[in-house]
Amino acid sequence: MIGIIGGTGIYEIVEMGEEVENKVLQTPYGESPEISLFKLHGKTIAFMPRHAKGHANPPHMINYRANIYALKKIGVDSIIATNAVGSLDLSIGPGDFVVPDDFMDFTRARNGTFYDSRTVHVDVTEPYCPNLRQALISAGNVVDGGVYVCTEGPRFETPAEVRMFQKLGGTVVGMTGLPEAVLARELEMCYASICTVSNYAASISPGKLTIDEVFQIVEDKRKELTATIADALAKVPSKRDCVCTEALNGAEIGNGGDSEDL
Ligand SMILES: [Zn+2]
């Protein structure tokens, strides 16, 4: 089953499908947000609002482990995530979509692993699923590749931080992409993200953008984002033959490496 983790703005994808059923799951990490199951292109899709209903949880308070665990438990093996980001690259502007191929994690106060009582070092040489990335790239007008920088938030970045991220090779900066991508890999799920650029990162904007303009850009791009994801869902290969499926092979010290209780 394919799962979608949506930020604000793409809830209407659920209405494109049929047979909607809503479920809240209990996990060892707490309750999941309400997951909507629907059928599209003959496939069952699970939609999860990342921030729970009504944007209740800010980025640093999201229960990432409960979210990913719940999707795994409901039968999801592949996740397409959406993230709103600021651009660090003047050639990528507001309204563009980016499908990152690497990330840098600058979060500091989040539970970033399922393995607190076992020593599991998961490999992220290929941080995002190549097959899911390909499905997204072939589905719409997107920037293929880029480095997603994740900050702790909830404040925005300082000019010095933005200069640092640029020097380190970052392409876009956001607050919600990690540890989500790693948690999915730890449970051997496929994961890729499509990022909507809503603004330039602080201090590099060629002209000051008002908050109304930012909202307008996100609103204008919402339909295109939803259509791109819907098209990508049809393009996801039914057979999983990527690195993600064997993420735990050889990752655990002193054990075979089956994921706990799943
Ligand atoms: Zn994969």
- Any binding-site annotation on 158? no
Amino acid present at 30? G
Q: Which two tokens stand for residue 27?
A: 């996990």
- Any binding-site annotation on 139? no
CATH number for the segment(s) 2-246:
3.40.50.1580
Going from the Cα of 241 to the center of ligand 1, the distance in angstroms, rounded, reads: 7
Please write the tens of the pLDDT for every residue from 151-165: 999 998 999 999 999
Going from the Cα of 240 to the center of ligand 1, the distance in angstroms, rounded, reads: 6
Please write the tens of the pLDDT for every residue from 34-49: 999 999 988 999 999 9
Going from the Cα of 186 to the center of ligand 1, the distance in angstroms, rounded, reads: 12
Strands (E), 152-252: 172-174, 190-200
Domain boundaries, the chain: 2-246
Going from the Cα of 254 to the center of ligand 1, the distance in angstroms, rounded, reads: 25
Flag whether pLDDT at 261 surpasses 60.
no
Going from the Cα of 188 to the center of ligand 1, the distance in angstroms, rounded, reads: 8
* pLDDT band at residue 257 under the 50/70/90 scheme: very low
